[in-house]
Structure 1
Amino acid sequence: MSASRAAAWFEANTHEWSEWTLAQLMEAKAGHSVSLVVPARNEAGTVGDVVGRVRETLVDTVALIDEIVVIDSDSTDATAAVAADAGAVVHRSRDIRPDLGSVPGKGEAMWKSLFVTQGDLIVFMDADLTDWDTHFVPGLLGPLLTRPEVALVKGYYERPGQSGPLDGGRVTELVARPTIALEHPELAGLIQPLAGEWAARRSLLEQLHMPTGYAVEIASLIDTADLLGVEAIAQVGLGVRAHSHQPLLDLGAMATQLLAAVGRRRGTPPAAPDAAPDHQPDRQLDQELDGQVVLRQYRPREGRIEPAERVVLLGERPPARSVM
């Protein structure tokens, strides 16, 4: 996509949450049902506020969201209990379709949500939000409810930090954006391609191969553009958003997953997986599911620099429609 085409896409497909009134969205929702899905792992400190604040705003607008579902991805804290107390329906990822096996990861939780939700429109929100507003949900629904040609909506927002209003998107700026420029320039108009707040039509989501980890964000964009064209993607400004930041070494694992997913879509699958028996899925559906690599990192310890190895899962789930 040329710079002029990217600019044209940006102009036609970039919205602000305030473009639609609640009354307009309620009218447009006729014939649709909406599921809000919150994938969570060890987020007991924030998930209750996310669920509770959304539910509080539904007192007069309950028809906008039909269900709030938290998918607990093997948390070791009280995430599930806190989310349930706040009013969400909680499912443990491992317990959803146990015949399909289970692996840890955000993408796995999102994929598993397709088996326990009912909405034809699905909104995803991260569980670790600390500074946000409840217009996130109606904002993301705006293009889906008012533009039939749109199948996926990405949020974008200011992320205040020491370096300015877009501070904090380290994997976005150092990995995702350069990769998009080199390999998928059709997506160059997206302000925050890795945003955790997004929405899509179930009919699209059930067709997508989903990486089980953090690469689910970039993979969904690439695959949607491939299936339907980039015109089926829109983005909505949601104002200010803040969340807990990942440690730098954890970002290395996220970047590895992203690069592997992009490479797979290029036709370059990850190298043969390294053995890691403790991370094997309960049941291997296809060869792609248990792909993994050992990422060698270095950490200071007691005055020395020591290597540390971590297993990074690179597997993907097949389209949910194929195993319904």
Structure 2
Amino acid sequence: MISVIIPALNEEKTVSQVVRLAKRSPYVTEVIVVDDKSLDNTIAEAQKEGATVITSTRLGKGASMKDGVLYASNPLLVFLDADITTYQENIVSLLTEPLIKDKADFVKSCFSRQAGRVTELVAKPLLSILYPDFPGFWQPLSGMIAGKKAMLEKIEFEEGYGVDIGILIDMYHMGARIEEVSIGHIENDMQPLEQLGKMSREVAGVILKKSRHKEANNFETLEYIQTIREQMEFAIRESSRQLKKVAIFDMDNTLLRASFIQTAAERFGFRRELLEIVITQTNPFIRTKQIARLLKGKNISELLKLADEIQVTRGSREIVDLLRNNGFIVGLVSDSYDCITNHFRNRFGFDFSLANELEFSKSVATGEVKIPSFFLSHDKSICHHEYCKSHALAQVCSNFNVPVADTLAIGDSENDICIIKKAGIGISFCSSNPLLDSIADYVIKEPDFSLLKSIAG
């Protein structure tokens, strides 16, 4: 009667222990590990313990949780984190007892551990301001929860650090009976200091988003909230102003001073094969798949270390920070590979990255690649090409509710012509393509992002 759902990303060392614990509960008939495209042995370790493993349809805990809810076959669902090994033996019973006895529709856990800084400094103060009648939960950001499948199917699973508080607020709005139960002492890693700002912004952003219908959420209230936590500045600005903007950077020969695949060809000795594919294969789908085969057998460490050897354009961190401070959502869109763009996303603080999905098995490239749907024509497309970066631009604008006119795109190659033409502001950056220069709003020939400052403002 109970399904246990365990979202997991690179948790090979701990996931088997959590699965075993879940399966020991007498009422559990299904344990589902939702793998977020792990690069280690998470899948094998979970399957070895008898868990059903599915792959998340999108990266991120929120998508994994939603996938698990839809896949589960039982009426009562429990979510456990895959990286915690100090759960009490009866963790599932503790979380589900209020549901089984029909005392609650949704159960949040609380536990003893080191103080949660974002909970105390951001979540609780914000909830008290925007939701004066909100129940006084000890740990509103806890990720160990249980609930009725019928209700969990109706809520929105946010992405990032805001997913857990978003679930709680949605349950509150739905009028669910909510209980908080103690699950004892939990030991898990505290977020590093550099992540606290991001966590604060995302948690605050979800709370503000969920409260937009409330009369109290006016500009005066937002000004008061700003004094709670300096890290909330981005979320408050996004909530208190209507206009948002999007800036999209190409990676190869734009953020980087060289092409990743060309650099890989030099390093790994397949320059001749790459040239043959580029010259003879005009179909972008086939070309992408053939090029990916050249990386078969390379492990993730080799690829990331090679990427780090490529020179980065001067002023990269500064321009990303400036754009974000000026209200832009900043991302990478590349026809390279997501393992590389995500690496630079993390390194330079981009908000998102979109690229082809190079597939791995046990951290080694299989030679297969998935071309994501956002590069293909869809109902929100703004051009007629079958495969184009402008389709990704349209999808990003739809996701963030930003008009295409309020976007900035910067690139260097023929593949960037359409996105630079369609964006509100198109920038040709160190390009040798005369057509790209002719359709761009701005042309920059020096590899220095500080030259974008007047445009970014």
| TM interval, short-chain normalised | 0.5 to 0.7
Identity across aligned pairs (percent)? 32
Equivalent in 45, 53, 62 of residue 82 of structure 1: 45
TM-score of the superposed pair, with normalisation by structure 2: 0.48
| One-letter amino acid of the structure 2 residue matched with residue 177 of structure 1 | K
Q: Compared with structure 1, are the counterparts of its residues 276 and 198 closer, same or farther at alpha carbon in structure 2 (3 Å cutoff)? A: farther
Residues 40 and 143 of structure 1: CA distance in aligned 2, closer, same or farther (over 3 Å): same
What code does the residue aligned with 1:242 have? E
From the CA coordinates, give the structure whose radius of gyration is larger: 2
SS at match of 1:137: helix
Partner amino acid, structure 2, of 1:40? A
Amino acid at match of 2:179: A
Q: Which residue of 1 aligns with 2:307?
A: none
The alignment's TM-score, normalised by the length of structure 1, stands at 0.67
Give the secondary structure class of the aligned counterpart of 1:242: coil
SS in 2 for 1:138: helix
Separation in structure 2 between the aligned mates of residue 258 and residue 83 of structure 1, nearest angstrom: 30
In the alignment, which residue of structure 1 is the partner of 2:120?
Answer: 173
**Aligned counterparts of 2:249 and 2:55: Cα–Cα separation in 1:** 22
Which residue of 116, 119, 136 maps to 1:189?
Answer: 136
Counterpart selection for 1:106 from 61, 67, 84: 61
The correspondence for 2:17, drawn from 33, 49, 68, is 49
Among residues 154, 157, 165, which one is paired with 1:218 in the alignment?
Answer: 165
CA distance in 1, matches of 2:249, 2:33: 28
For 2:128 and 2:66, the matched residues in 1 are separated by 28
Aligned 8 A contact 2:108 2:146 in 1 = yes
**Mapping for residues 262-301 of structure 1, pairs under 5 Å:** 262-267=207-212, 268=239, 272=244, 274-275=246-247, 293-294=329-330
How far off its partner does 1:271 sit? 5.6
Equivalent pairs, count? 237
Residues 190, 253 of structure 1: alpha-carbon distance in 2 compared, 3 angstrom cutoff: same
Q: Which residue of 1 aligns with 2:100?
A: 145
How far off its partner does 1:178 sit? Answer: 1.3
Change (3 A) 1:244 1:277: same
Matches within 5 A, 1:152-163: 152-159=106-113
d(CA) in 2 for partners of 1:41 and 1:123? 18
Q: Counterparts of 1:123-138 in structure 2 under 5 Å?
A: 123-138=78-93
**One-letter identity of the residue aligned with 1:311:** D
For residues 42 and 109 of structure 2, the distance between their equivalents in structure 1, rounded to whole angstroms, comes to 25
Q: CA deviation at 1:208?
A: 0.7
Equivalent AA in structure 2 for residue 70 of structure 1: V
Q: Which stretch of structure 1 is more off in the superposition, 196-205 or 168-177?
A: 168-177
CA contact (8 A) 1:107 1:214 kept: no
Q: Which residue of 1 aligns with 2:5?
A: 37
User: Aligned partners of 1:136, 1:78: CA distance in 2, in Å?
Assistant: 25
Letter of the 2:43 counterpart: A
The Cα of 1:72 is off from its aligned counterpart by: 0.6
Distance in 2 separating the partners of 1:260 and 1:116: 29
CA distance in 1, matches of 2:99, 2:40: 35
Alpha-carbon distance, 1:275 to partner = 3.9
- Distance change (3 Å), C-alpha of 1:277 and 1:72: farther
Q: 1:211 aligns to what SS in structure 2?
A: coil
Q: Which residues in structure 2 correspond to 1:229-268 (within 5 Å)? A: 232-267=177-212, 268=239
Q: 1:133 to 1:181 in 2, by over 3 A?
A: same
Superimposed CA distance per residue, residues 85-121 of structure 1 (whole angstroms, 9 cap, x where no aligned partner)? 1221111103xxxxxxx3x211110011122111111
Equivalent residue number for residue 260 of structure 2: none
Cα offset, 1:203, TM superposition: 1.2
Q: Structure 1 138/253 Cα, relative in aligned 2: closer, same or farther at 3 Å?
A: same
The C-alpha deviation readout for 1:40-79, integer Å capped at 9, x for no partner, is 1111111111112332x34xx2xx0110000011212211
User: What's the secondary structure of 2:160's corresponding residue?
Assistant: coil
Aligned equivalents of 1:234, 1:128: Cα separation in 2: 24
Q: Is the 8 A contact 1:140 1:153 kept in 2?
A: yes
Q: Distance in 2 between matches of 1:112 and 1:276?
A: 29
> 2:4·2:22 contact (CA, 8 Å) conserved in 1?
no
Q: Distance in 1 between matches of 2:188 and 2:29?
A: 26
Q: Which residue number corresponds to residue 349 of structure 2?
A: 309
Query: Residue 274 of structure 1: CA displacement?
Result: 2.8
Larger relative helix fraction = 2
Query: What CA distance in whole angstroms lies between the structure 2 residues aligned with 1:88 and 1:199?
Result: 18
- The alpha-carbon deviation at position 276 of structure 1 amounts to 5.0
Alignment counterpart, residue 71 of structure 1, candidates 5, 13, 34: 34
Q: Quote the Cα distance in structure 2 between the aligned partners of 1:108 and 1:277.
A: 25
- How far 1:312 moved relative to its partner? 5.9
- The two structures, once aligned, show a CA RMSD in angstroms of 2.6
Distance 1:276 1:72 in 2: 28
Q: Which segment is superposed worse, 124-133 or 259-268? A: 259-268
Q: Specify every segment of 5 or more residues in structure 1 that has no aligned partner in the other structure, as ranges.
A: 1-32, 95-101, 160-166, 279-291, 296-306, 317-324
CA–CA distance in 2 between the matches of 1:246 and 1:36?
25
CA contact (8 A) 2:127 2:207 kept: no
Paired residue for 1:25? none
TM-aligned CA distance change 1:277 to 1:38, over 3 Å: farther
Provide closer, same or farther for how the CA distance between residues 276 and 245 of structure 1 changes in structure 2, counting only shifts above 3 A.
farther
Deviation of the 1:188 alpha carbon: 4.2
Task: Give the unaligned 5+ runs of structure 2.
Answer: 213-238, 251-327, 332-346, 354-395, 401-457
Q: CA deviation at 1:173?
A: 1.4
